[in-house]
């Protein structure tokens, strides 16, 4: 008699628990999106449908500057973090196991294990010393801080992709007299590209919505969109914050959909 395979979905109450979890996750987001179309000035009293707060946010020069600054930092940080993460993943997976390999994994993933506030304070101290020495107050401090924080987020999907790849293809390229660079360019990189795209997208999203590190590292006049929203919450609370949050949500969803379509096409 064949044994029945265990399926968690057959457990009593599984559907109820799953529904409750989804409600807890998405009901606050749906509420935020709903009240972003509120014509009134309060966050919780519906006073009619209106695009008012989207128009005000779009025409707000401060919001535009903060949005462009956020995109500039996120694009730069995700690019740097993805390049570093790709090199780290290749260095830790395309060789035999060695002593200290676990310590290197822990070192790369350190931002995930240490509280973000600790990383922010450490970066504040280091960059404060550099600012005192050089006098430079530019945006590169934020870019480097976000890059360092985003490396493990890009590293994990890239490493997972490398560990799932068939090494025989790279061995075949070497047997056909391809040098290491040719093997990487024509074999490894095309196969690794979905993992690189996933890592870059994850790093971009993490950088785009970071508040803690940005709040500690930024100089005067370097507000990003999340820190601008935090400042607004401390002063005047209007549905404009809901409209900006909804815009960020739409951008994230579009990135996810775009990546899924690209990945499906490559597969």
Sorted by where each starts, the structural domains of the chain and their CATH numbers stand as 65-266 (1.10.3720.10)
Alpha-carbon distance 171 to 174, whole Å? 5
Give ∠ CA 175-179-185 in degrees, rounded to 5.
105
Place 75 in a pLDDT band, splitting at 50, 70 and 90. very high
Assess whether pLDDT exceeds 90 at residue 80.
Answer: yes
Across the range 172-194, mean pLDDT stands at: 79
Q: What percent of the chain has pLDDT over 70?
A: 93
Closest CA to 89 of 206, 215, 224, 200: 200
Tens of pLDDT along 213-264?
999 998 888 889 888 888 887 777 778 888 888 988 888 888 777 777 766 6
Place 70 in a pLDDT band, splitting at 50, 70 and 90. very high
Assess whether pLDDT exceeds 80 at residue 211.
Answer: yes
Is the C-alpha dihedral spanning 215, 221, 227, 231 positive or negative?
Answer: positive
Which contacts of 134-139 are long-range, i.e. CB under 8 A and separated by 24 or more positions? 137/219, 139/69, 139/72, 139/73, 139/222
Instruction: Please give the structure tokens belonging to residue 216.
Output: 């500690």
- Tell me if 256 sits within 8 A of 197, measured CB to CB: no
Tens of pLDDT along 83-132?
999 998 888 887 776 677 777 777 888 888 888 888 899 999 999 899 88
């Amino acid at each position: 008699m064949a044994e029945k395979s265990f399926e968690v979905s057959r457990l009593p109450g599984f559907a109820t628990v799953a529904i409750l979890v989804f409600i807890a996750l998405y009901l606050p987001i749906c509420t935020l999106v709903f009240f972003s179309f509120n014509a009134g000035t309060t966050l919780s009293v519906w006073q009619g449908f209106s695009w008012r707060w989207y128009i005000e946010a779009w025409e707000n020069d401060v919001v535009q500057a903060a949005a462009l600054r956020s995109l500039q930092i996120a694009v730069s940080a995700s690019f740097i973090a993805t390049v570093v993460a790709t090199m780290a993943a290749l260095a830790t997976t395309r060789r035999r196991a060695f002593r200290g390999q676990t310590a290197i994994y822990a070192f790369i993933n350190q931002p995930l294990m240490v509280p973000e506030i600790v990383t922010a304070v450490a970066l504040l101290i280091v960059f404060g010393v550099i600012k005192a020495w050089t006098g430079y107050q530019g945006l590169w401090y934020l870019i480097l801080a976000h890059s360092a924080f985003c490396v493990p987020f890009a590293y994990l999907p890239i490493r997972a992709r490398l560990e799932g790849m068939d090494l025989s293809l790279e061995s075949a390229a070497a047997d056909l007299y391809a040098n290491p660079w040719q093997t990487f360019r024509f074999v490894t990189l095309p196969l690794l590209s979905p993992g690189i795209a996933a890592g870059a997208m994850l790093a971009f999203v993490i950088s785009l919505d970071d508040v803690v590190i940005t709040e500690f590292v930024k100089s005067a006049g370097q507000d990003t969109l999340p820190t601008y929203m935090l400042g607004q919450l401390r002063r005047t609370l209007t549905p404009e914050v809901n409209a900006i949050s909804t815009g960020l949500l739409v951008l994230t969803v579009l990135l996810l959909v775009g990546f899924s379509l690209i990945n499906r096409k490559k597969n």
